[in-house]
Structure 1
Amino acid sequence: MSSKKTDREKTVIVIVGGGIGGLALLNALSASINPEKHTVVLVDARPAHMHLISSLRLIVSDADDLLKQAVHPYGDHTFRDKFAGNGSFVHGSVTSVKFGDGGKGGQLILDSGEVVDYDLLVLATGSSWPRPLGFPTESKSAIENHIMARRAEFAEAKDILLVGGGSVGIELAGELKDIFPSKPITIIQRERLLLNNTYPDKYRIAIQKQIEARGVTVLTNDAIPASDASDVSASQVPKDGFVTEQGKKLKPDLVVPTWGNRPNTSYLPTDLLSSTGHVKILPTFQLPAHSNVFAFGDIIEWKEQKGAAKAAFFHTPKVAKNIMAYLNLAESVTTSSVDLMASNKSAKYSGSMEMIMITNGKARGLAYFDILWGIILGRWFVTLLKAKTLMIGRIPSQTGYTPN
């Protein structure tokens, strides 16, 4: 195996995952890091940053030329401020981690066999999604081919069944209705209402009424057999359709899995994970057994709903502060063990309010904020903040890349 060469005169910070959280952390650190002492390596399974907020609209049609705007290749432009000329990108999937003892550095093993050394490691590998959002990793052209294939499936389908009534299923239904207003679309949801019981019934009922008003059929407290809901292509849908657990007959010609995400943590040993595959962390976002390893975003075991806003706005500032505290303390202690939990320099996470903003195409949606008595904001608010543009204009400031 070859080893990724880094400047071993400097502390090597490796961030695994270039999603919204990973890039937010990279940019936060780039303003305060000492480039004479520290360097950074960004590792991602894909060669380009995927703007997942716009991905459902992206896979439905070529509206707004999102293919050009939502896929940003990594490169020198990714590293700015004090990381400019002091950072590098590695394209590859992590297959395992060799942890150092007592807070010492370790190594990442990539699927190519390449080895990346680290002194401080940050895990921000996010979620794995079913087929519509399961973008390839090998190349930008493979990502583009996947997008074009999904668009073709949706355009050719005459009756679409979405299996899963969470935010992905709802938002995909809204995007489909924008482009194909007369096409039959059904969401089937195992729970009694859309979404889950983190959110109050009044919000769940309101979002269901809004999506049904567009002609989407919603079946709750119902399901199709797991084997039928598997990740199948349009050509594999049974000719005679399905009979649901409640006895309803459905005859879609395209079945789309839209159930929830899973933490992307298969590269870690099971003793570091919860029963759901999430990474066990301290309130400082450190792994309990490895003080020089941090984890945040969708992959952590914490009693809260996962989402990009939490990773970027609630996790990242604390992770960045704790990394700087760790680096400063590591220079002042005589042992390799740095106890951030006992340090008054650390920022401890106690959770954040629950919030969700669900779009229903370009001009509809509902938001919920768990403050006061629980606030629901309607289509004007969601359209202004998210639905109309899907925040696409903010991506260059995160990635450093400007599409031609």
Structure 2
Amino acid sequence: MTEAPRSPRSARPTVVVVGGGYGGISVAKSLDDVADVILVEPKDAFVHNVAALRALVEPDWLSRIFLPYDRLLAHGRVVRDRAVMVGAGRVVLASGDELAADYIVLATGSRYPFPAKTELDSADQTLERYQLIHKALANAGRVLLLGAGPVGLELAGEILAVWPDKHVTIANGSSDILPGGYNPDLRSDLRRQLTDLGVEFVLGSPLRGTPPTAPGVLETFSLTTEAGRNLTADVWFRCHGISPVTDYLDEELADALTSGGYLEVTSDLRVFDQDTVFAIGDIAAIDGNMAALAGVQAEIAAANIRTLIEGDGVLTEYEPAMPGIIVPLGPNGGAGQFAGQPGIVPPEVVSQVKGQIMFVDRYAGLLGVTVPGGPAYGG
């Protein structure tokens, strides 16, 4: 435990939160009553990536994954801009403006191929892209998914829940699905469910080259694996390739980067050798890349900043989670593993926990918005 230095109470300090994803909105909301919070985010709406694959196959969900930031903060403000240089005590924006900060929380998350995430900053443009690719997917008879991690498995389940007659192939160079320290029974159950849905697995042999078309484009093509297996598809999606967004750090903060581009943090979630700069979520080299973990880290970072502001107390340490995951396969299928608990989570529990509602209510409530087709949440 780290003891916070004692200091007299002063005017409200400024906390700049860089990134308006799962961790960013949580820490900003938590500190709104004790600090002047500025949330810096280039997107014009929060994108609920957890439900993005559902929205691809069921366009009615699109209105539920773009949630405005207007009601997130009662006292602070959201600045729609991109951080291009961040150092201890300052954030330089693409517009040329510079924000002075007493505390900074880096919560810029990660990049991942569409449709699991989007690089577009406009909700309207992103919505149009989902609709365009939905149309291509609806007209495809054969779908190739490159990657056998959670995204590839979940996307296969979503596709077949809507179009059970499509032929879906999951191809990956590794010999098994779902990398990581998970229960082998979880892999077996997910593979069994997907096989029952008609999914074809082509594992253990990489492809000779890449598809000649862009992902999400309707155009028939063929590829061959190194083992000589021929694969033909009408559309394909890349379901691997996560990368942390940390390319805006100044030289001093960049010293804490790992070779993979993640930020090394202390147990209290401060960037190494920094007293007032915190990093949470996908960019922090302390745990896995999951929205739920970003939320937990946000709570701890916010509590520690509050302690530093008040100048009295002990900083809380973050304990990395044991392996846990929920993988829905459409609204009614899937399996999971709760951290620290034996056995696997059956489809009916997955459906209740995530498969049916995709946590939309949780983040709508945090942002204080009303979700079309769902209950209203005040903020």
Which position in structure 2 is the counterpart of 1:345?
314
> Cα distance 1:232–1:53, how it changes in 2: closer, same or farther (>3 A)?
closer
- The answer to whether the 8 Å contact 1:46/1:136 transfers is no
- The answer to whether the 8 Å contact 1:358/1:367 transfers is yes
Unaligned runs of at least 5 residues, structure 2 = 1-9, 373-379
- The answer to whether the 8 Å contact 1:45/1:137 transfers is no
> Cα distance 1:189–1:144, how it changes in 2: closer, same or farther (>3 A)?
same
Matching residue within 22, 25, 34 for 1:23: 25
Which position in structure 2 is the counterpart of 1:358?
327
Matching residue within 363, 368, 378 for 1:400: 368
Alignment of 1:291-370 (within 5 A): 291-302=275-286, 304-312=287-295, 314-329=296-311, 345-370=314-339
* TM-score normalised by length of structure 1: 0.84
Matching residue within 216, 224, 228 for 1:247: 228
> Cα distance 1:109–1:230, how it changes in 2: closer, same or farther (>3 A)?
farther
Measure the CA separation in 2 of the matches of 1:221 and 1:230.
23
- The answer to whether the 8 Å contact 2:116/2:151 transfers is no
Measure the CA separation in 2 of the matches of 1:299 and 1:226.
30
Measure the CA separation in 1 of the matches of 2:67 and 2:185.
38
Which position in structure 2 is the counterpart of 1:341?
none
State the number of aligned residues: 360
Letter in 2 for 1:257: R
Q: Is residue 78 of structure 2 the alignment partner of residue 78 of structure 1?
A: no
Measure the CA separation in 2 of the matches of 1:300 and 1:229.
35
Which position in structure 2 is the counterpart of 1:141?
124
Q: State the 1:317 CA deviation.
A: 2.5
Matching residue within 138, 141, 150 for 1:158: 141
Measure the CA separation in 2 of the matches of 1:92 and 1:221.
43
Q: What is the percentage of aligned positions where both structures have the same residue?
A: 28
* TM-score normalised by length of structure 2: 0.89
Matching residue within 304, 325, 344 for 1:376: 344
Q: State the 1:208 CA deviation.
A: 0.9
List structure 1 segments (4+ residues) > 3 angstroms apart after TM superposition: 225-233
Measure the CA separation in 1 of the matches of 2:212 and 2:349.
34
- The answer to whether the 8 Å contact 1:59/1:150 transfers is yes
1:63-120: CA deviation from partner (whole Å, max 9, x where unpaired): xx21222211112x111xxxx1x211111222221x24xxxx22x2223333233221
Which position in structure 2 is the counterpart of 1:283?
267
- The answer to whether the 8 Å contact 2:12/2:36 transfers is yes
Q: Is residue 37 of structure 2 the alignment partner of residue 40 of structure 1?
A: yes
1:168-219: CA deviation from partner (whole Å, max 9, x where unpaired): 0011111100111101110112222111131132211221111111011112
Which position in structure 1 is the counterpart of 2:82?
93
Q: State the 1:125 CA deviation.
A: 1.1
> Cα distance 1:240–1:148, how it changes in 2: closer, same or farther (>3 A)?
closer
Which position in structure 2 is the counterpart of 1:5?
none
1:289-335: CA deviation from partner (whole Å, max 9, x where unpaired): 32110001111112x322111111x3123212211122123xx8xxx
Q: State the 1:136 CA deviation.
A: 4.0
Let me know the Cα RMSD of the aligned residues: 2.1
- The answer to whether the 8 Å contact 1:229/1:257 transfers is no
Measure the CA separation in 2 of the matches of 1:354 and 1:174.
22
1:150-180: CA deviation from partner (whole Å, max 9, x where unpaired): 2122112221100001110011111100111
Q: State the 1:377 CA deviation.
A: 1.4
Alignment of 1:232-243 (within 5 A): 232-234=215-217, 240-243=221-224
- The answer to whether the 8 Å contact 1:130/1:231 transfers is no
Alignment of 1:96-135 (within 5 A): 96-97=85-86, 99-100=87-88, 105-106=89-90, 108-135=91-118
Letter in 2 for 1:298: D
- The answer to whether the 8 Å contact 1:229/1:255 transfers is no
Measure the CA separation in 2 of the matches of 1:226 and 1:144.
31
- The answer to whether the 8 Å contact 1:163/1:229 transfers is no
Which position in structure 2 is the counterpart of 1:340?
none
Measure the CA separation in 1 of the matches of 2:357 and 2:260.
34
Measure the CA separation in 1 of the matches of 2:58 and 2:280.
32
> Cα distance 1:197–1:230, how it changes in 2: closer, same or farther (>3 A)?
farther
Matched residue SS, 1:241: strand
Q: State the 1:229 CA deviation.
A: 8.5
> Cα distance 1:226–1:400, how it changes in 2: closer, same or farther (>3 A)?
farther
Which position in structure 2 is the counterpart of 1:201?
184
Unaligned runs of at least 5 residues, structure 1 = 1-7, 333-343
Q: State the 1:403 CA deviation.
A: 4.1
1:5-35: CA deviation from partner (whole Å, max 9, x where unpaired): xxx96421011122222222223223xx43x
